[in-house]
Amino acid sequence: HAVGLVVVGPEAPLVAGVADVLRKQGIPCFGPDKQGARLEGSKSFSKQFMVRNSIPTAAYISCDQPEQAHEYIDSHSAPIVVKADGLAAGKGVVVAATQQEAHRAVDACFEGSFGTAGKRVVIEECLNGFECSVLAFVCNGKAFCMELAQDHKRALDGDKGANTGGMGAYSPVSHVSANQLNEMHNIMQQAASACAREFENDYRGVLYGGFMLTATGAKMLEFNVRFGDPETQVILPRLENDAVELFLAVAQGRSDDIHLRWSDNCCVGVVLASGGYPAAYKKGFTITGIDEVERDSSVQVFHAGTTCDGLGSLVTTGGRVLCVSACGVSFEAARQKAYDACNCIHFKDMFYRHDIGYQEMQHPRA
């Protein structure tokens, strides 16, 4: 069969080089090649890329020996951030409140808690401020930035608990000022231009910038080389372009054909997770209520950790099971719809955060 376009979703195949293989076969691929994918596949590579290209980021050290990491922690005050270098499904980052917690995080990495991803660690200063995400379609060294979103990384209400892959998001983010938005967009263009200079092949796909808006300006926390989860579930419902045509234009490097159009609606997404996540959790619990929720066309239920059992019932099979996204004419309307929908869906040990979008309610709009 003739394949006209491949859109690569997860980061692991990109890091493994699936885009390289597809392009060698003449198949248009939405997603960077193996070299570009290192921006997410190795945090130390990503930090070096930022420093080389004057992209503002936190001070850091990269260590492949535990002794070096422990010495660095002893010489720096907490809080301090410890990151496994490789891919860890969004769970390889510890924001340590004490030096002791940072030491334990380093030990966990080098003792194999994240497999080969923890053979090297990146230790960073802890930045303070407001966190938000900018995703951009990138090709020909140009960044076409999408609407802002904000993720909620911690497992529990009030930003408590362990870091996760993301427990919910909302878009747009109205209390970011025009100057802050312009600063982040300029940094994303700076990164896209650097990709064109440094990488052998054109970076074609999504570049995700995780920003911290600090008192001294926007700083880059991390790059991802694919759509963020759950940010995508609140950004793409607001996109008015034909997504397939847009992805194909990026994959073919037709930057002149990219003109993004956005709905004025707001979108809020809430992740429904298995009890125990991001640590150990049980699987195989029957999920009910989705059909009722999806009768409302403004509500979408995105599946992540689900499968069908032998009897044809939908059951849980992952930590983050579903993401319930709802659009509305206002943030408040979208949020109410999302939580009303969450209350209709059930599976054993299900939990979710009840405060998604709390920053939008607390901060004055810019």
Under a CB-based contact definition with an 8 Å cutoff, are residues 266 and 172 in contact? Answer: yes
Helices 34-41 and 43-52: crossing angle, nearest 10°?
100
End-to-end CA distance of the chain: 51
Dihedral (CA of 127, 133, 134, 137) sign: positive
The one-character DSSP state at 7 is E
Domain boundaries, the chain: 6-55+128-152+163-257, 60-125, 266-354
3-class DSSP state of 356: coil
**Which residue ranges in the chain fall short of pLDDT 70?**
364-366
Model's pTM, two decimal places?
A: 0.92
109-116 long-range contacts, CB within 8 A, separation 24+? 109/82, 109/84, 110/66, 110/69, 114/84, 114/86, 114/88, 115/86, 116/86
Identity of residue 214: T
231 conformational bin, left if phi > 0, alpha if psi -120 to 50, beta if neither: alpha
Neighbour-count burial for 29-48, b at 16+ CB within 10 Å, e otherwise: bbbbbbbbbbbbbbbbbbbe
Distance CA 150, CA 274 (A): 22
Neighbour-count burial for 87-108, b at 16+ CB within 10 Å, e otherwise: bbebbbbbbbeebebbbebbeb
Q: Which CATH class is domain 60-125?
A: alpha beta
pLDDT of residue 364: 61
pLDDT one-digit tens code per residue, 81-139: 999 999 987 788 999 999 999 999 999 999 999 999 999 999 999 999 999 999 999 99
Under a CB-based contact definition with an 8 Å cutoff, are residues 318 and 305 in contact? Answer: yes
pLDDT of residue 203: 97
Under a CB-based contact definition with an 8 Å cutoff, are residues 203 and 195 in contact? Answer: yes
pLDDT one-digit tens code per residue, 40-70: 999 999 999 999 999 999 999 999 999 999 9
- Give the residue from 57, 294, 54, 355 showing the smallest Cα distance to 191: 54
3-class DSSP state of 190: helix
pLDDT of residue 366: 60
Distance CA 89, CA 226 (A): 13
Strands 29-30, 60-63: parallel, antiparallel or unpaired by DSSP?
unpaired
Judge residue 256's burial from the number of C-beta atoms within 10 Å of its C-beta, 0-12 exposed, 13-18 middle, 19 or more buried: exposed
pLDDT of residue 248: 98
Under a CB-based contact definition with an 8 Å cutoff, are residues 268 and 334 in contact? Answer: yes
Residues 6+ apart with CB under 8 A from 123: 60, 61, 63, 69, 72, 73, 76, 80, 81, 82, 83, 102, 106
217 conformational bin, left if phi > 0, alpha if psi -120 to 50, beta if neither: left
Distance CA 71, CA 73 (A): 5
Please state the separation of Cα 305 from the chain's center in Å: 17
3-class DSSP state of 176: coil
Distance CA 362, CA 168 (A): 17
Tell me which CATH homologous superfamily contains domain 6-55+128-152+163-257.
ATP-grasp fold, B domain (3.30.470.20)
pLDDT of residue 310: 87
Residues 6+ apart with CB under 8 A from 216: none
Fold for the domain defined by 266-354: Glycinamide Ribonucleotide Synthetase; Chain A, domain 4 (3.90.600)
